[in-house]
Amino acid sequence: MEYKIKDLNIHYEICGEGKPVICIHGYTVDHHLMKSCLEPVFQEEKIQYKRIYIDLPGMGQTKAVPWIKNADIMLEVLLEFINYITDGESFLLAAESYGCYLSMGILKKLQHQTDGVFFLCPCIISDYNERNLPSFTVVFSEKITDSGDFENEIKEFNEMAVISTDETWADYRTNILPSIKIADQDFLARYRENGYGFSFENDFESLTYNKPSAIITGRQDDSVGYKDMFKLLDNFPRAGFSILDGAGHNLQIEQPELFREYFRNWLKRTRY
């Protein structure tokens, strides 16, 4: 499916009917990351949800356009899409990494309409050099036997993998790697250099959100860390905050059982 804003065609996929859940992936990947880790939980739920998986501009099947120069404009695109897809109905928000950063902007603008948020490995500070990060640590690694023709890709995978096994590699190869290969890297490099952060990022410190929230972070995540998000915990009075050992920025594939349990619990709490 596509939604058109000017010359931008936003690709998205809808699964099921019921309460809308807007699912926003992180940087350089696409909606398959979110769909692959969330659908196993949704398929078990007795309550019906309308899952809306979007490809951000320059990623997945949403082609980049020159006028998306910064995060403020990206947010306006998301707000228009959400207004269209929900038609004013309240919704849940599930996001990963940079998708969480954009979601902070959504909360600033549409807090009244958002009934709960789930943050996976949230990026909360746009400037990488300003983040409080743990050092890179490998918790467990074994030789990947199903290497095929992916020698270079496996090397890159192991440069960020906290748990490196045939299983984590297979998940990465299926649900993450293809999206990285088709991303518009030139657009993403320009965007990161010139407009990755909101003009109002400092407002995050004063944003308060009182609805059911879950914040899941990796103890060994050297991309976004966990300490910066923890500083904002009091801004989310109904948040569960978890730091998982044996998890980096690919937490959902390194600790899949725990991830699904936390997501399942969050869905339950949004119904209270």
CA torsion sign for 18, 114, 267, 84 is positive
CATH for 2-269, among 2.40.128.640, 3.40.50.1820, 3.40.50.620, 3.50.50.60? 3.40.50.1820
Measure the CA–CA gap between 143 and 242, rounded to whole angstroms: 29
The count of other CB atoms within 10 Å of the CB of residue 56 is: 27
Percent of the chain with pLDDT strictly greater than 90:
98
Q: How confident is the model at residue 146 (pLDDT cuts 50, 70, 90)?
A: confident
pLDDT for 259 equals 99
Query: Residue 39: is it exposed, middle or buried by C-beta count within 10 angstroms (0-12/13-18/19+)?
Result: middle
Residue 137 has pLDDT above 90, yes or no: yes
Rounded Cα gap, residues 65 and 190, in angstroms: 12
CA geometry: angle 114, 106, 78, nearest 5 deg: 110
pLDDT band at 149 (very low <50, low <70, confident <90, very high): confident
**pLDDT tier for residue 135 given thresholds of 50, 70 and 90:** very high
Overall average pLDDT of the 42-49 stretch:
96
Model confidence pTM above 0.95? yes
Is residue 181 pLDDT above 90, yes or no?
A: yes
Range of lowest pLDDT (57-71, 87-101, 143-157, 181-195): 143-157
Mean pLDDT of 154-174: 97
Condensed to tens digits (0 to 9), the pLDDT of residues 209-263 reads 999 999 999 999 999 999 999 999 999 999 999 999 999 999 999 999 999 999 9
pLDDT of 148 above 90: no
What amino acid is encoded at 219 in this protein?
R
What pLDDT score does 225 carry? 99
Q: Is the pLDDT assigned to residue 17 strictly greater than 80?
A: yes
| pLDDT value, residue 266 | 99
Does pLDDT of 29 surpass 90? Answer: yes
Domain ranges of the chain: 2-269
Residue 193: both structure tokens together: 């250099």
